[in-house]
Structure 1
Amino acid sequence: MPTPPNARRITPLLGLAPFLRPYLGRWLLAFVALAVAAGATLALPVAFRYLIDLGFSPGHRGEIDRYFIALFAVSLVLAAATSLRFYLVSWLGERITADLRRAVYEHVLGMSPQFFETTQTGEVLSRLTTDTTLIQTVVGTSLSMGLRNFFLFTGGTAMLIVTSPVLSSYILATLVVVIVPILVFGRRVRKLSKASQDRVADASALAGEVLNAMPTVQSFTQEPFENARFGSAVDTAFGTALDRIRARAWLTAMVIVLMFAAVVFVLWLGAQAVLGGTMSAGELSQFILYAVVTAGAVGAIAEVWGDLQRAAGATERLLQLLGARSPVQ
């Protein structure tokens, strides 16, 4: 079966597997903490539902303390799991980035003189700094946030269906409208991200080349010329990065607006159901909270997808450098 185009765009991230494998235990613990935090978040709307439907009703006044204690207990679980997940993934991001930098540097030191004659020093330095920093952001932040929001989206969607199948059907029907801009703009973001990284690498390579030949530059009084050349390279990199930022901003805005417009429409239908007596106020409150959680998760996934695409480009370039072989062994 052929790989879907969207999956192919982030497949270079699979090349990081050798660097992730030594810390499998920490990854599993972080995954458990992430799942517990997501579960605690999904449990909050249920507690609010019973608090509204039963806690404030005349026949259940004695139970209101129990529901508030339950809410506080869930918040404690959420805080503990979230802090543990944050610590573990941050540690993993720093550790894996350090291992990757060491591996790339060790590999470059073993290359033949031919490699250094044909490869600019600034380009290698850009791989060791800019590209590894992008990977650190994904491993230490974006990846866990993406998984967390995927859990929230999946669990929130399931709970929306359980709470009100009729209203949920309207929300699910609008997901197609949200997925289209993600596919279209996601492709553009990846192309612009790779172009932005290329331009930054070009500027770094130019600076390294000039600084290594400063005696020659000064002897021919070419400082103003080289300054203007580097300034032009920096401006080009800035312009490319600005295009990428605009594309990501449009992607995020479109997803959030479309999703929340659908949520507002469905909530209006829910309000009509409460007024008609076919739905309780607690059920509508639970549905609203799950709708907000699900919509927020979709917006966050759109942002994380952009980060994954940027990191995929950086990983591809690093793996190309690690894959280079010296003719002299």
Structure 2
Amino acid sequence: MNSKEQPKGRLATLRGLLPFLTPYKKQFVLAGIALVVAATATLAIPYAFKQMIDAGFGAAGVGAAGAKGAAHIDLYFIALFGVACVLAVATAARFYMVSWLGERVTADLRGAVYSHVITQSPQFFETTQTGEVLSRLTTDTTLIQTLVGTSVSMALRNALLFAGGLVMLFVTSVKLSSVIIVLLAAVVLPIVVFGRRVRKLSRASQDRVADASALAGEILNAMPTVQAFTHEGDEARRFGSSVERAFETAILRIRARAALTVIAILLVFGAIVFVLWLGAHAVVRGSMTGGELGQFILYAAIVAGAIGALSEVIGDAQRAAGAAERLLELLAVRSPIQSPAQPEPLPARAANGAALTLRDVGFRYPSRPQTAALSRLSLDIRPGETVAVVGPSGAGKSTLFQLLLRFYDPQQGRIMLDGVDIRRLDLHALRGAIGVVPQDTVVFSANALENIRYGRAGASDEEVIAAAKMAAAHEFIEKLPRGYQSFLGERGVRLSGGQRQRIAIARALLKNPPLLLLDEATSALDAESERLVQGALQAAMAGRTTLVIAHRLATVQRADRILVMEHGQVIESGTHAELTAQGGLYASLAALQFSPDAA
């Protein structure tokens, strides 16, 4: 974080949490009432002790048979127990309310951050590791929970005890209280100095933990590759080094907090011991009663304990400020891809699919602004047309699909779906009109039925099974231990690559969109599965516009038109026969794949 941003780490950063606190004003009021009652009961205890000592054990309490003294003692002990009962009930109520608030606010914050992050465009994830986001959702929100559910309550309670105890100290003895106030003022400076250091180290510690989480997430998602290249030891050492850096930073933070605590306690109790020494001499001289000294000692202990607790709370608040800063940074990120304020509706769906038009589209990835991924690309695709897009790697084929889904916006030109600029469409309406079968198939940690139903949430079981049959997935799903109820494992690890791809195809077919994008949809299939899926796809293409990316040219020969891309431009267009006769790039690719010597 640069120097201009550092002021955000101050406790003022916590004001950014107010939108998450204000919906629960009623609970805060109830917690406040319980807090005030508990603090009042605590402050009443020393006064009750003073009365008991002076009235119960003093001259007023000594009678011929001690009856009057016994009556006083009974009365004050009953009153003291009554205060304890009030304190117990109020403390329990305060604990319940503030704990509820801590859990509720943390749940809301986690939900808000997660909901915000999943709306970000791919540009956000080019520079942000998912492990870091997960660290902020877990570790940082736990610190906020500690702050709201414990630290705020402790701070208010001890602030009340400090203020009330201070008033009662002056009521008891102005002279001794004046001395102790001067001495306690010396505690403020080290708390402020060390508090700033704790804040900086807290943020650094949280950053190192996030780094370790991001590294672990990346490696755990790539375990087959790590093990295939026998890098387990190297990765364990990398993670160990990252954890050690987090540990070393945490130790610096702990040392700073320990120094803050020891200085505060030594100064506070040193001042109290000195003042009590003065009070003892006052009792000996007869200028103060024993009960008053006892009361003064208890109030001094309450004030000292409140200061010590506040120093601890300040440390927690500093850590929470660092956590809040990181969470608010996430919430402040705004995706460059947004639905328009007044979106236009899509025209009614035509019987044969959607029309697609690109006009002089130019695009550069934000992470690679010097390289044009697409350059002045213009296309006209008729409703119901099947268009194949081929070309070498890096030609811009997958980029074209990302622009159609509006994961990015082109820097130049326009893309229109059924005559409407896709920037004028609601994002959900646009993406709802497009079905995608990606090259890297995503299978969720759920059963087969729910994985296919991801294509259309309200689909019935019968519709899901029909889509699976069209995608040639029904047969292998039926052979799973529990059929469609079988859990497919994290990222579909219980399925082969071809089976995962057929799940993805079934998901897209269930969605039944007017525009279908197939990105290497049959690349992971064996010959028999490819034959089955090709037949299913041919049936699925009926009544919709389809764009197909394929490296295996055998899968695109039946396309109405084939576009050959290179360096972000369409350099050839035509049918398989026409392009083969032209002798250009497509003919070269076809010769490599179809020639008897291709192997």
Q: Quickly name the TM-score band, shorter chain normalised.
A: over 0.9
Residue identity matched to 1:266? V
Distance (whole Å) between structure 2 residues aligned to residue 42 and residue 7 of structure 1? 37
Question: Displacement, 1:257?
Answer: 0.9
Distance (whole Å) between structure 2 residues aligned to residue 240 and residue 127 of structure 1? 17
Identify the residue that residue 76 of structure 1 maps to in structure 2.
85
Distance (whole Å) between structure 2 residues aligned to residue 111 and residue 59 of structure 1? 77
Distance (whole Å) between structure 2 residues aligned to residue 8 and residue 115 of structure 1? 23
Q: Aligned pair count?
A: 325
Distance (whole Å) between structure 2 residues aligned to residue 298 and residue 58 of structure 1? 37
Q: Does the 8 A contact of 2:211 with 2:242 survive in 1? A: yes
Q: Does the 8 A contact of 2:9 with 2:199 survive in 1? A: no
Distance (whole Å) between structure 1 residues aligned to residue 208 and residue 190 of structure 2? 26
What is the percentage of aligned positions where both structures have the same residue?
67
Distance (whole Å) between structure 2 residues aligned to residue 318 and residue 79 of structure 1? 36
Identify the residue that residue 20 of structure 2 maps to in structure 1.
19
Identify the residue that residue 113 of structure 1 maps to in structure 2.
122
Question: Displacement, 1:6?
Answer: 10
Residue identity matched to 2:45? L
Q: Does the 8 A contact of 2:8 with 2:325 survive in 1? A: no
Question: Displacement, 1:223?
Answer: 1.8
Distance (whole Å) between structure 2 residues aligned to residue 178 and residue 63 of structure 1? 41
Identify the residue that residue 325 of structure 1 maps to in structure 2.
334
Whichever structure has more helix as a proportion of its residues is: 1
Identify the residue that residue 364 of structure 2 maps to in structure 1.
none
Q: Secondary structure at the match of 1:206?
A: helix
Task: Determine whether 1:200 maps to 2:200.
Answer: no
Deviations 1:260-307 (A, max 9, x none): 011001000000000001000000000000000000100000000000
Task: Determine whether 1:230 maps to 2:239.
Answer: yes
Distance (whole Å) between structure 1 residues aligned to residue 184 and residue 285 of structure 2? 27
Question: Displacement, 1:59?
Answer: 2.9
Q: Secondary structure at the match of 1:221?
A: coil
Q: Which runs of 5+ in 2 are unaligned?
A: 1-5, 62-68, 339-599
After superposition, the CA RMSD in angstroms is: 1.5
Distance (whole Å) between structure 1 residues aligned to residue 79 and residue 162 of structure 2? 23
Identify the residue that residue 49 of structure 1 maps to in structure 2.
50
Q: Does the 8 A contact of 2:9 with 2:322 survive in 1? A: no
Q: Does the 8 A contact of 2:31 with 2:97 survive in 1? A: yes
Deviations 1:120-157 (A, max 9, x none): 01000001000000000010011100110000011101
Indicate the structure (1 or 2) with the bigger Cα radius of gyration: 2
Out of 178, 182, 195, the position equivalent to 2:191 is: 182
**Structure 1 stretch displaced more, 17-26 or 6-15:** 6-15
Question: Displacement, 1:213?
Answer: 2.6
Task: Determine whether 1:150 maps to 2:150.
Answer: no
Question: Displacement, 1:69?
Answer: 0.9
Residue identity matched to 2:198? V
Deviations 1:221-274 (A, max 9, x none): 222111111100001100110111111111111101110011001000000000
Out of 76, 84, 99, the position equivalent to 1:90 is: 99
Task: Determine whether 1:100 maps to 2:109.
Answer: yes
Q: Secondary structure at the match of 2:245?
A: helix
Q: Does the 8 A contact of 2:9 with 2:321 survive in 1? A: no
Task: Determine whether 1:216 maps to 2:225.
Answer: yes
Residue identity matched to 1:55? G
Whichever structure has more strand as a proportion of its residues is: 2
Relative contact order higher in (CA < 8 Å, ≥ 6 apart): 1
Identify the residue that residue 38 of structure 1 maps to in structure 2.
39
Task: Determine whether 1:296 maps to 2:296.
Answer: no
Aligned 1:50-65 pairs, distance under 5 A: 50-60=51-61, 61=69, 62-65=71-74
Distance (whole Å) between structure 2 residues aligned to residue 256 and residue 58 of structure 1? 38
Residue identity matched to 1:27? F
Task: Determine whether 1:130 maps to 2:139.
Answer: yes
Identify the residue that residue 312 of structure 1 maps to in structure 2.
321
Out of 266, 290, 307, the position equivalent to 1:257 is: 266
Q: Which runs of 5+ in 1 are unaligned?
A: none
